[in-house]
Amino acid sequence: MIWYTLLVLAVGAERVAELVVSRRNTRWSLERGAVETGQRHYPVMVVLHTGLLLGALAEVWCAERPFDPVLGWTMTAVVVAAQALRWWCIRTLGPRWNTKVLVVPGLPLVESGPYRWLGHPNYVAVVAEGFALPLVHGAWLTASAFTLLNAALLTVRIRAENDALATTRVERPGPHTPGIAR
């Protein structure tokens, strides 16, 4: 169980790194006239993601969940893949990536990296990690609760992002838009 605790702490440290990047990117966006929306659901998101980490540890330690090697190593691979996808998203969006819903008017939509195939690839990473991280060590209650609550939250979050993009003047890249890789 010690190695699992270290894994969850590592994911927690990764989340802190995301917040550092997000804070820097928030300044960048606001300096360029970003419009922020979706502020009401943000505290819920913070509580839910914190609850994922604490719930997984509490369930494993208090309920003495056993480690099943087949499930555990498979879910560890999913957690690692989710982290890779998340950081691919962050790298692709550059200073436009954020934990908040901030849209800089006039910037074209990003259609490279994982955004070439999915509208919200970061949330694929969130869903995968939220399901897999608890299951690495058999915390099925936490995996189930997070998955259900996160589905409700993502419904609100994705709607907020899509509405923000629709109501903020965002240029659609065309064949002659300079600096846009297709």
pLDDT value of residue 143: 98
pLDDT value of residue 162: 92
Predicted structure pTM score: 0.89
Q: What's the CA angle centered on 37, arms 165 and 115, to 5 degrees? A: 40
The amino acid at residue 106 is G
Residue 120 CB neighbour total at 10 angstroms: 16
pLDDT value of residue 84: 98
DSSP 117-140: T-S-HHHHHHHHHHHHHHHTTT-H
pLDDT value of residue 1: 87
Domains and CATH numbers, the chain: 2-167 (1.20.120.1630)
Contact 168, 35 (CB under 8 A): yes
- The stretches in the chain having pLDDT less than 50 are 174-182
The amino acid at residue 85 is L
Distance separating alpha carbons of residues 36 and 131, to the nearest angstrom: 29
